[in-house]
């Protein structure tokens, strides 16, 4: 995974709460077996509306999404993260993310930064009146800056460390291979196993 230290880009306001992963990427796009190529699937049904924020001329080429509370609820589909990234998003800002979505984002290198809803409202006003305002999200300092305005954001310490270093989770875990071997020796015999096919 590529390391993430800071990102500067323009942002789009998504004035909705409870944006579930079925909205981020509808189920029909989950038939694909690749990890990329989901840009057309992002918010597919909302994007049919010409007034939808990502269709407005002032929000083309955005890389930061600023959204209402409870973003990413519902299905565990990691395709939601891939679709956001394929579209060009590097950061999502919200006052609250659903757990599985936030976990998936951390694995894929999409930064989900938590700021209070009042800060979300302020940023919405800034980018609605001046859509070209560059916004900087600094993971090192945990700070969001938009012109004169700035605020601190929250991010899980472990996720932050992994993103800053660009580390691969599986690689980290495999360093514990001996501990896993050891644990397996003491598992009770009554736990179910499947006989693997030859």
Partner 1 sequence: MGRTLAEKVWSDHVVHEGDGLPDLLYIDLHLIHEVTSPQAFDGLRAAGRPLRRPDLTVATEDHNIPTVDVDKPIADPVSRIQVETLRKNCEEFRVTLFPLGDVEQGIVHVVGPQMGLTQPGMTIVCGDSHTSTHGAFGALAFGIGTSEVEHVMATQTLPLKPFKTMAITVEGDLPVGVTSKDIILAVIAKIGTAGGQGYVLEYRGSAIKALSMEGRMTICNMSIEAGARAGMVAPDATTFEYIKGKSHAPQGSDWEAAVAYWETLVTDPDARFDKEITFDASTLRPFVTWGTNPGQGLPLDQVVPDPQSYTDPVERAAIESALAYMDLRPGQPLKEIPIDTVFLGSCTNGRIEDLRAAAHVIKNRKVADGVRLLVVPGSTRVRLEAESEGLDQIFLDAGAEWRGAGCSMCLAMNSDKLNPGERSASTSNRNFEGRQGPGGRTHLVSPEVAAATAVRGTLSAPADLVEV
Query: Which positions lie near partner 1, rule CB under 8 A?
Result: 15-18, 20, 22-23, 26-28, 30-35, 45, 68-70, 73-79, 81, 96, 98-100, 103-104, 107-108, 117, 156-158, 169-170, 172-174, 176-177, 179-180, 183-184, 187-198
Q: Which is nearer to partner 1, 6 or 30 (CB)?
A: 30
64's CB contacts (< 8 A; 6+ apart) are 7, 9, 10, 11, 12, 89, 90, 91, 92, 93, 135, 137
Q: Which is nearer to partner 1, 3 or 27 (CB)?
A: 27
Q: Which is nearer to partner 1, 56 or 167 (CB)?
A: 167
106's CB contacts (< 8 A; 6+ apart) are 112, 156, 159, 162, 163
3-state helix vs strand vs coil in the chain, percent to 5: 40, 20, 40
CB of 126 to partner 1, least distance (A): 18
Q: Which is nearer to partner 1, 5 or 161 (CB)?
A: 161
Q: In whole angstroms, give the CA distance from residue 19 to residue 22.
A: 8
CB of 172 to partner 1, least distance (A): 7
Please provide residue 187's backbone torsions phi and psi, each rounded to the nearest 5 degrees.
-70, 135
CB of 95 to partner 1, least distance (A): 9
CB of 115 to partner 1, least distance (A): 15
């Amino acid at each position: 995974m590529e390391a993430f230290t800071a990102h500067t880009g323009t942002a789009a306001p998504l004035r909705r709460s409870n944006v579930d992963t079925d909205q981020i990427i509808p189920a029909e796009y989950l038939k694909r077996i690749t990890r990329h190529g989901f840009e057309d699937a992002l918010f597919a049904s909302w994007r049919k509306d010409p007034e939808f924020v990502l269709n407005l001329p002032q929000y083309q080429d955005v890389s930061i999404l600023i959204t209402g509370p409870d973003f990413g609820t519902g299905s565990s589909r990691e395709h939601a993260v891939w679709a956001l990234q394929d579209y060009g998003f590097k950061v999502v800002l919200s006052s609250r993310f659903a757990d599985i979505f936030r976990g998936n984002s951390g694995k894929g290198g999409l930064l989900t930064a938590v700021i209070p809803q009042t800060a979300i409202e302020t940023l919405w006003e800034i980018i609605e009146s001046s859509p070209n305002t560059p916004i900087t999200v600094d993971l090192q300092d945990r700070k969001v800056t938009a012109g004169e305005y700035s605020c601190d954001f929250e991010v899980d310490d472990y996720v932050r460390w992994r993103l800053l270093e660009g580390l691969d989770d599986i690689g980290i875990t495999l360093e514990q291979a001996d501990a896993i071997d050891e644990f397996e020796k003491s598992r009770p015999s009554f736990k179910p196993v499947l006989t693997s096919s030859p």
